């Protein structure tokens, strides 16, 4: 068989729960959703991606790695597919903050091809029903294990994608929506909210009001960014205001004046948001909060009200976990060439797929 042809193997790839994972990188994402998503590397027809990890503990025996689905987006099912790829591991000479755009410069001495070029089958996945996804559904088992030295260091995971197979054709760029996370050099932390349940339309409208929220942990405070769509529109009098409710749990009881509108949050705190709604029922703004302790799950709901005629709408529910400070220095980066697995160089980004090592 030619060395350029993939070895066709039949592997039973099963989801890996967090309890089966030896390490997660970035490590602060083990129990938290990432703040982004990516189609690298599995969604590319030809690509090379290195990820550098300084947060995988020394002495970890790695038999494979896995990715999980992005939860905060509302994308649905992604069909099963196959990816033709290889994986090489080494201990990089550079910290993640010193990553080179030249792939060869990030590869350590004695690199180990833990998975020769192989065609792997990945299962269909759907949007997780909670954040983060409880399992790493897209697994890459190695043929050779790799031991991180007891003293630790920077692990370099080098993935080359030679092609893929889908139900609609071969070697296409795919939208896989893997969970990803970007850490910031100043230690701030960004935590997206997970949209769930269902909002209600503004009076006279049919589109349900919805919102997106992101919680930021800053140096001395927290900030909740709120976007509302399809809420009550301002008629030009400047009396239509946005608000947000914060609670420690889920309620679900109807608003007394409209049975089709539910209070999804226990709403221990109501806050008026600065500014007014737009003429199309949209809002974008922020609410400054005290510094919140990490690991606390909030249930939030936004809404809009016309102070003149009391027309009101409520959004869907958004739940978010208060994050810890971001790790400093940044523990993981990616270097990627998204169009050629033979490329010598790639671009550096602090946004990396959340990876579980098993």
Are the C-beta atoms of 188 and 216 separated by less than 8 Å? yes
Residue 7 has pLDDT above 70, yes or no: no
- Strand duo 222-229 + 178-182: pairing: unpaired
Residue 5 has pLDDT above 90, yes or no: no
- Strand duo 61-67 + 355-357: pairing: antiparallel
Q: Is 92 exposed, middle or buried (0-12, 13-18, 19+ CB in 10 A)?
A: buried
Distances (CA, A) of 349 to 165, 227, 258: 27, 26, 47
Distances (CA, A) of 151 to 54, 78, 147: 11, 40, 11
HSE-CB at 115 with a 13 A cutoff on CA atoms is 25
Give the model confidence (pLDDT) of 262-288 as tens digits. Answer: 999 999 999 999 999 999 999 999 999
* Among 285, 318, 297, residue whose Cα is nearest residue 211: 318
Residue 9 has pLDDT above 80, yes or no: no
Confidence of residue 14 (pLDDT cuts 50, 70, 90): low
Q: Give the residue-averaged pLDDT of 147-158.
A: 98
Give the model confidence (pLDDT) of 93-123 as tens digits. Answer: 999 999 999 999 999 999 999 999 999 999 9
Which domains, from first to last, does the chain contain? 7-186+328-357 (no CATH), 189-321 (2.60.40)
Mean pLDDT over the full length of the chain: 95
């Amino acid at each position: 068989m030619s060395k350029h042809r993939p070895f066709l193997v039949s592997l039973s790839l099963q989801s890996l729960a967090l309890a089966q994972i030896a390490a997660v990188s970035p490590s602060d994402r083990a129990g938290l959703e990432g703040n982004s998503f990516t189609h690298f590397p599995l969604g590319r027809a030809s690509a090379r991606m290195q990820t550098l990890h300084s947060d995988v503990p020394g002495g970890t025996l790695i038999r494979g790695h896995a990715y999980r689905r992005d939860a905060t987006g509302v994308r649905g099912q992604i069909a099963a597919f196959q990816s033709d790829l290889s994986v090489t591991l080494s201990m990089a000479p550079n910290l993640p903050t010193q990553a080179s755009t030249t792939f060869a410069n990030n590869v350590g001495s004695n690199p180990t091809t833990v998975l020769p070029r192989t065609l792997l089958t990945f299962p269909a996945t759907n949007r997780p029903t909670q954040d983060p996804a409880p399992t790493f559904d897209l697994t890459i088992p190695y043929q050779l294990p790799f031991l991180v030295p007891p003293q630790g260091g920077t692990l370099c995971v080098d993935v080359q994608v030679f092609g893929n197979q889908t139900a609609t054709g071969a070697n296409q760029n795919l939208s896989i929506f893997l969970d990803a996370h970007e850490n910031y050099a100043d230690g701030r932390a960004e935590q997206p909210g997970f949209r769930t349940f269902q909002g209600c339309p503004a009076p006279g409208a049919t589109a349900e009001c919805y919102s997106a929220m992101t919680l930021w942990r800053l140096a001395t405070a927290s900030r909740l960014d709120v976007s509302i769509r399809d809420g009550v529109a301002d008629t030009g009098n400047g009396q239509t205001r946005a608000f947000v409710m914060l609670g420690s749990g889920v309620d679900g009881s109807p608003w007394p004046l409209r049975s089709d509108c539910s209070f999804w949050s226990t709403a221990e705190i109501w806050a008026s948001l600065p500014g007014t709604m737009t003429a199309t029922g949209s809002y974008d703004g922020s609410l400054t909060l005290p510094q919140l302790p990490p690991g606390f799950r909030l249930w939030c709901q936004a809404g809009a009200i016309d102070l003149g005629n009391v027309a009101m709408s409520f959004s869907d529910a958004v739940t978010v976990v208060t994050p810890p400070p971001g790790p400093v220095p940044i523990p993981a980066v990616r270097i990627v060439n998204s169009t050629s697995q033979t490329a010598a160089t790639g671009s550096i980004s602090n946004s990396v797929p959340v990876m579980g090592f098993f």
